[in-house]
Structure 1
Amino acid sequence: MPTANGMRPKRPQTSKETSSRRIMPFNVLPGIKKPKPSVPSIKNVCGKKHKKRLSIARGRIMGGNSALPGTHPWMAAIYIGQSDFCAGTMVSSCWIVSAAHCFFRKYVMDLRVVLGQQNFNVTGPNTRTFGVEKYIFPKQFSVFNPTLHDIVLIKLAKQDGRCARRTPFIRPICLPDQSMTFPDDYCCTISGWGHMHEKAEGYSSLQEAGVRLIPHEACRKPDVYGNHVTADMICAGLNDCVDACQGDSGGPLACARDDVSFLYGIISWGEGCGRTKKPGVYTKVVNYIDWINSVIRRKPKAS
């Protein structure tokens, strides 16, 4: 998906380039101090993972981890037509946040959202499948430069008068307050079903990886991304082989505080996958939090 500025988003996958995922090692590194800002009042209704016995063996995939069922219960698998695919993050029972570049020129009748999914395109007793009522771009988004303001809100179509019901495998992530920040070098988590490496083939089970937040000025260096990185973006994961890739677009950069996970970024774009000095770039969610809340809390107009 070439863009006007020459950068390439982590685009939805097509059947001709069927892929796995490519989120790699879960590198929880030592020496990270917990940030000071206060945690919003959330009443434990979001951002909590399903407690599983961690003695279960974890498969290693290209140096990364295969996520245990229920460890990322906010993940949404979004199937677009017959061949395209992106990820998303559940933020309430009816709303999914994803990357805008996945959805322009797409019809809602062609979208299918699966919650609680562990293996790509496999449904089971823990999954729920929804149609889409509508999707909404921020007014700043333009198809002519889709790496900018790369965020979309997707409203699930209700079933029997309601959207997603909470289960151990389906629950929303917390949205951050506008003032919430995590420090440089903080280790956050990315997850998805995308490429294991560039030109990979075949999707796999849900993967997870730890990536460190990169100072904004470091990501804007001329030999990294220069002025293509704006104040509405976050960079993470400068180490080789720790990155998101095609098929992961729209998924979460989740940062945890006191065991509560917050949607801090949205997987958006990058140059290749895991290339030296080319980290992943994520939409900075806190910059759009007022818009998100205004949409998902909007009361329907009386008929």
Structure 2
Amino acid sequence: MIRFVALLSCIGVIYGRAPLNHAVHNERRTERVVGGWDAPPNTWRWQVSLQYDSYNSNDYYHICGGTLIAAYYVMTAAHCILSPEARYYRVVTGEYNLYEYDGSEQFKSVEKIIIHPGWTGDLGNGNDIAVLKLKTPIYDNGYLQIADLPYPGQVLPHDFTCYLTGWGLLATGGSTPAILQEAPIPVVEHSVCSSPEWWGSLAKKTMVCAGGDGKTAGCQGDSGGPLSCLTDGAWRVHGVVSYGPAADCNMFRKPTVFTRVSSFIEWLYSVM
């Protein structure tokens, strides 16, 4: 138990306050921390910004990412739920620049919060997934898309390249980007990620590990957002950003850990 607690102290919750064509982009980019760069507009159209108003004063700020999975529903991480009161949250679809009105956004109030019954508040135990039911449905304005999800139990092979997107910090303790970031990130299979020199027993089979090269990773503000992977001819959201190392977001052999969506398909459809 003492060893487990010591390991768990290395986990960092990857959320924090922060104000497709899916073609391969070959033009020169300005590299950002976690190995990412500005995403082209109107690409990751299922990505949402989960925003919070702690004083119920209509002053919202970004806390987490999320994924649009139906007209009334958004998937995010359970640890992103700072309060059980739905009135403190809103979801923004079509968001691109957090600090400007792009004309593509839809702002939706949350009616109900549904947290997975297996969530205990302990990231190492997994089940870090929640669903938000919106008060009114999202409508198709050309800037959004309902995400495709993987097949139940689907597991990605080692080194399979997916994409991490979000408005997370560009460095541990660093600045927050205004523009949505994207970064290719390789999957680390469970047998590797659960080995002692990686995440050990904290990596469960209901999780997906990706990164760990010391270059590409999620960081504070990315939690709850999607891990998007081109599988079976379609972009599917295979992961929900859950945790990473507390000391430094992009530590070698400490990849970003995602809730594996394919392990929760039945639960998702049961609550929608």
TM-score (norm 1): 0.78
The 8 Å contact of residues 15 and 219 in structure 2, kept in 1 or not, is answered as no
Aligned AA for 1:170? L
How far apart in 1 are the matches of 2:155 and 2:110? 32
CA displacement, residues 131-173 of structure 1 (integer Å, 9 cap, x when unaligned): 0011101111112x14420000011111xxxx11123311111
Q: Does 1:6 align with 2:9?
A: yes
How far apart in 2 are the matches of 1:181 and 1:287? 9
Q: Does 1:170 align with 2:173?
A: no
How far apart in 2 are the matches of 1:259 and 1:59? 30
Cα deviation for residue 104 of structure 1 reads 4.5
Report the counterpart of residue 173 of structure 2 in structure 1. Answer: 199
Cα deviation for residue 182 of structure 1 reads 2.2
Report the counterpart of residue 126 of structure 1 in structure 2. Answer: 104
Report the counterpart of residue 46 of structure 1 in structure 2. Answer: none
Cα deviation for residue 118 of structure 1 reads 0.5
The 8 Å contact of residues 14 and 218 in structure 2, kept in 1 or not, is answered as no
Change (3 A) 1:135 1:195: same
Q: Which structure has more strand as a fraction of its residues?
A: 2
- 2:188 is aligned, of 200, 214, 226, to 214
Change (3 A) 1:58 1:105: same
Unaligned runs of 5+ in 1: 20-48, 297-303
Moved more, 3-12 or 211-220: 3-12
SS at match of 1:205: coil
The 8 Å contact of residues 50 and 73 in structure 1, kept in 2 or not, is answered as no
Report the counterpart of residue 58 of structure 2 in structure 1. Answer: none
The 8 Å contact of residues 14 and 241 in structure 2, kept in 1 or not, is answered as no
How far apart in 1 are the matches of 2:135 and 2:92? 12
How far apart in 1 are the matches of 2:70 and 2:176? 30
How far apart in 2 are the matches of 1:53 and 1:234? 23
Change (3 A) 1:231 1:257: closer
How far apart in 1 are the matches of 2:105 and 2:24? 20
SS at match of 2:13: coil
Q: Does 1:239 align with 2:210?
A: no
Cα deviation for residue 115 of structure 1 reads 0.4
How far apart in 2 are the matches of 1:52 and 1:185? 20
Q: What is the count of residue pairs matched by the alignment? A: 257
Report the counterpart of residue 119 of structure 2 in structure 1. Answer: 141
The 8 Å contact of residues 253 and 265 in structure 1, kept in 2 or not, is answered as yes
Report the counterpart of residue 61 of structure 1 in structure 2. Answer: 32
The 8 Å contact of residues 51 and 70 in structure 1, kept in 2 or not, is answered as no
How far apart in 1 are the matches of 2:25 and 2:214? 27
Change (3 A) 1:217 1:120: same
The 8 Å contact of residues 191 and 251 in structure 1, kept in 2 or not, is answered as yes
SS at match of 2:51: strand
Unaligned runs of 5+ in 2: 55-60
Cα deviation for residue 106 of structure 1 reads 4.0
The 8 Å contact of residues 75 and 89 in structure 1, kept in 2 or not, is answered as yes
Quote the sequence identity (%): 28
How far apart in 2 are the matches of 1:55 and 1:104? 39
CA displacement, residues 245-278 of structure 1 (integer Å, 9 cap, x when unaligned): 0100000011112551111011100113111111
Report the counterpart of residue 42 of structure 2 in structure 1. Answer: 70
How far apart in 2 are the matches of 1:238 and 1:12? 19
Change (3 A) 1:64 1:279: same
Change (3 A) 1:257 1:231: closer
Moved more, 251-260 or 241-250: 251-260
Change (3 A) 1:7 1:102: farther
Report the counterpart of residue 261 of structure 2 in structure 1. Answer: 285
How far apart in 2 are the matches of 1:179 and 1:53? 28
CA RMSD of aligned residues (A): 2.4
Report the counterpart of residue 81 of structure 1 in structure 2. Answer: 53
How far apart in 2 are the matches of 1:289 and 1:118? 28
Aligned AA for 1:189? Y
